[in-house]
């Protein structure tokens, strides 16, 4: 359930021309940028970039980067890229700048197998390295094992589930947690190679036999470290991505000064996917609509852009 609102008739040539006009003259007309780009889907955005190039022999993305700044620019830049290119950029930033490895876990676990493949291809084209190569160079030990397994997975996407296997692998996971060996090769094998439907059955089986969810048990059982945090995020992204994203947003607003990176990332990457569901869950958990939280905690063009992606129509 996407939140993106796209008008019935779209002319990408007109859009390119309007954007050009918005750049011309003194300053930039950000309202136009928002009213055009925040209401176009990925295919249309790509066509607009091509049309802009055809008309003006200029890269629209580069022009935007020079015309606008700050959180607004970062959000628009991520939005205008093709989804797989965007994820490649997010992964690269996470590896080389912010060390926010949970971003990589999100991409690897929430995307479909084909989408993840497209991200890996886009990464080749942009960075002249494979994603796994860079993940391996920038991480070590258990985190490396987990991240490598996650980003190189090409999971089977069928609906078939083997219940006996789910039970036996749930037992393996439970034993590993009990023995405080959550970095065990078997844990990694199960989480990074099994299909998503098989894993969800495994997590259900865990809950049936243990009475609580595996993420709750993980929380309590072992020492807190980055590896455990990433492991829990992987499980949550595979099992209940909507709940996961709602929590990311909730935490992002709570943080002192807000976590704009997280807010941008969730809204931009999910606006065409399931942001509507995330909105509904946010409202039911916080008694405040997500739009209201965004309006309160952000400002200016950045705020207007996010609200537009959330479905606000002018």
Partner 1 sequence: MAHLQELEALTKALSGLGIDEQSLISILGKSDPARRTTFRQRSTHFFIEDERSFERWDDHRINLLRLEFVRFENALVLWAMHPWERDARLVHEALTLVPQSYRVILEIACTRSSEELLGARRAYHSLYDHSIEEDVAIHVTGSERKLLVALVSAYRYEGPKVSEDAAKSEAKLIAKAIKNGDKKNPIDDDEVIRILTTRSKPHLKAIYKHYKEVSGKNINEDIEAADFILKETVECLCNPHAYFSKVVDEAIRNDADHNTKKALTRVIVTRADVDLKGIKEEYNSLYGVPLTPKIDDNVNGNYKDLLLALMTRD
By CB under 8 A, which span of 78-86, 89-97, 119-127, 292-300 interacts with partner 1? 119-127
Does 27 carry a binding-site annotation? Answer: yes
Considering the complex, state which of residue 92 and residue 276 has its C-beta at the smaller distance from partner 1: 92
Considering the complex, state which of residue 58 and residue 175 has its C-beta at the smaller distance from partner 1: 175
Contact 1, 241 (CB under 8 A): no
For the CB of residue 144, give the shortest distance to partner 1 in the complex, in Å: 7
Q: Does 189 participate in binding partner 1 (rule CB under 8 A)? A: yes
Among 78, 86, 194, 273, binds partner 1 (CB under 8 A): 194
From CA 180, how far away is CA 161, in angstroms rounded?
28
Does 297 carry a binding-site annotation? Answer: yes
Considering the complex, state which of residue 32 and residue 172 has its C-beta at the smaller distance from partner 1: 172
Contact 51, 15 (CB under 8 A): yes
Q: Does 53 participate in binding partner 1 (rule CB under 8 A)? A: no
Does 300 carry a binding-site annotation? Answer: no
Phi, psi of 47, deg, nearest 5: -65, -40
Does 25 carry a binding-site annotation? Answer: yes
Contact 151, 192 (CB under 8 A): no
The DSSP code for 95 is I
Among 192, 205, 239, 298, binds partner 1 (CB under 8 A): 192
Q: Does 161 participate in binding partner 1 (rule CB under 8 A)? A: no
H/E stretch holding 113:
helix 113-127
Does 23 carry a binding-site annotation? Answer: yes
Structure tokens at 68: 């606008």
Count residues contacting partner 1 (CB under 8 A)? Answer: 32
Does 298 carry a binding-site annotation? Answer: yes
For residues 167-184, b (16+ Cβ closer than 10 Å) or e, as one string?
bebbebbbebbeeeebbb
Q: Does 25 participate in binding partner 1 (rule CB under 8 A)? A: no
H/E stretch holding 156:
none
Does 256 carry a binding-site annotation? Answer: no
Contact 207, 80 (CB under 8 A): no
Q: Does 300 participate in binding partner 1 (rule CB under 8 A)? A: no
Structure tokens at 91: 């992964």
Among 155, 232, 236, 270, binds partner 1 (CB under 8 A): 155
Nearest CA among 230, 236, 152 for reference residue 196:
236
Q: Which residue has the tokens 């296997």?
A: 165
Among 11, 24, 69, 141, binds partner 1 (CB under 8 A): 141
From CA 137, how far away is CA 286, in angstroms rounded?
40
For the CB of residue 294, give the shortest distance to partner 1 in the complex, in Å: 37
Q: Does 96 participate in binding partner 1 (rule CB under 8 A)? A: no
- Which residues are at the interface with partner 1 (CB under 8 A)? 117, 120-121, 124, 128-133, 135-137, 140-141, 144, 148-149, 152-158, 160, 185, 189, 192-195
């Amino acid at each position: 359930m996407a939140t993106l609102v796209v008008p019935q008739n779209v002319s990408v040539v007109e859009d390119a021309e309007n954007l050009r006009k918005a750049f011309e003259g003194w300053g930039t007309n950000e309202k136009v940028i928002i009213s055009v780009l925040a209401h176009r889907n990925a295919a249309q955005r790509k066509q607009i970039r091509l049309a802009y190039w055809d008309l003006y022999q200029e890269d629209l993305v580069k022009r935007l980067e020079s015309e606008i700044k700050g959180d607004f620019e970062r959000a628009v830049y991520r939005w205008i890229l093709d989804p797989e290119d965007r994820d490649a950029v997010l992964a690269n930033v996470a590896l080389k700048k912010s060390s926010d490895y949970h971003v990589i876990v999100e991409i690897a676990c929430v995307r479909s197998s084909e989408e993840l493949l497209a991200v890996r291809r886009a990464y080749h084209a942009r960075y002249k390295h494979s994603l796994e190569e860079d993940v391996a160079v920038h991480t070590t030990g258990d985190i490396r094992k987990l991240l490598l397994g996650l980003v190189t997975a090409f999971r089977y996407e069928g609906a078939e589930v083997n219940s006996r296997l789910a039970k036996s692998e749930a037992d393996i996971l439970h034993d590993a947690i009990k023995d405080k060996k959550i970095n065990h090769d078997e844990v990694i094998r199960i989480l990074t190679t099994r299909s998503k439907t098989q894993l969800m059955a495994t997590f259900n089986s865990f809950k049936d036999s243990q009475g609580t969810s595996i993420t709750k048990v993980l929380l309590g059982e072992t020492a807190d470290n980055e590896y455990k945090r990433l492991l829990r995020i992987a499980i949550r992204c595979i099992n209940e991505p909507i709940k996961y994203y709602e929590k990311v947003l909730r935490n992002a607003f709570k943080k002192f000064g807000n976590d704009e990176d997280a807010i941008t990332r969730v809204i931009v990457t999910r606006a065409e996917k399931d942001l509507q569901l995330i909105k509904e869950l946010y409202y039911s958990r916080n008694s405040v609509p997500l739009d209201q939280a965004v309006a309160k905690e952000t400002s200016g063009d950045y705020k207007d852009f996010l609200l537009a992606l959330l479905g606000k129509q002018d």
